[in-house]
Amino acid sequence: MGRVLAIANQKGGVGKTTTAINLSASLAADESKTLLIDMDPQGNAGSGLGVIGRELEHTVYDMLLEGTAPKSILQKTELKFLEVLPSNPDLAGAEVELVSVKRREFRLADAIAQLKDKYDHIIIDCPPALGLLTINALVAADAVIVPLQCEYFALEGITELMNTIELIRGSLNPKLTLEGILLTMFDGRISLANQVAEEAREHFGEYVFQTRIPRNVRLSECPSFGKPIVLYDIRSKGCEGYLSLARELRQREAASSKKES
C-alpha cells in the first residue's frame, strides 16, 4: 500500500513544486511506483512533467467536486514508474465550492483510497496556502515534507504550518507525522544560508534532512521543457540533490519499518 507524502509550505517560492516533481521523478527512476497529485490550481506539477491540465477534459477538480474516478484522470509521464493526477485553474474555485460538500476535508483521502494499492509512493503538491485544498492533502497524507528556503525570514510561518499539522492530527488524521524539513536553494558560500541551516537544525533536530537542495540553474530551466531534472540533466547538482533526497527518504522508511517489526 502506497505511502502518502504531502509537500507543504504556505509560503510561496520555497521550492515546493520543484521538490514534488523531482522527488517523485527520482523515486520513479529508482523503480518505485509513484503517483504525483497536483493540488495547486497553477498546475505546475503536471506541466513540469509535460502534462498540461488546461488541455485535459478531466482533472483533480472533477475528482474532488464531481466524484470522477481518479483512474480516469491518471496521466502517464516519460518515466515508466511515474504517473500524475493533474490540475488546472478550475481548482481555484474548489476552495469555495468544497465548503458545502459532505466530508469536504476527506475528498482527496477518499479518492486516494481507490489508488493506494497501485503505488509505493504518492506525492501531493500542495498550494501555497493553508486552505481546504491543503487541509485535504494533510488529511490524506501519512507524513509531511516541508521545503525550507535558505534565505532571510525562512523560519517565519513554519510555526503556523506546524500548528495546522497538530490540529489535523488531533481532529482529522491521527496518523499524520512530520517526515522532515528539506533545505532548498542552498548556497554554502553564503553565510546566511549556513545560518538558516543551523537554526533549522536547532529547532527541528533530526527532522531536518541531511540532503540539501542546491541553488541550481538547471533546476530552474527544466520545467519549461516539461521534464524533471533526472531527464533534463542527470549530471547537474540539482539532480544529484534530489536523487540523494530520494535515497535518504527510502533509508528513513526502511529504518522505520524495521523498528515497527
Of 43, 44, 22, nearest in space to 34 by CA: 22
Residues in the chain with pLDDT values less than 50? none
Tell me the pLDDT tens digit for each residue of 32-86. Answer: 999 999 999 999 999 999 999 889 999 999 999 999 999 999 999 999 999 999 9
State residue 79's pLDDT score. 98
Burial class (CB in 10 A: 0-12, 13-18, 19+), 135: buried
- CATH number for position 182: 3.40.50.300
pTM of structure: 0.95
Q: What is the pLDDT of residue 258?
A: 78
Domain count of the fold of the chain: 1
Q: What is the structure's pLDDT at 246?
A: 98
Q: Which three cell numbers stand for residue 71?
A: 483512474
Q: What pLDDT, on the 0 to 100 scale, is given for residue 155?
A: 78
- Domain extent for 78: 3-260
User: Cα separation of 89 and 40, whole Å?
Assistant: 8
| Average pLDDT of the residues of the chain | 93
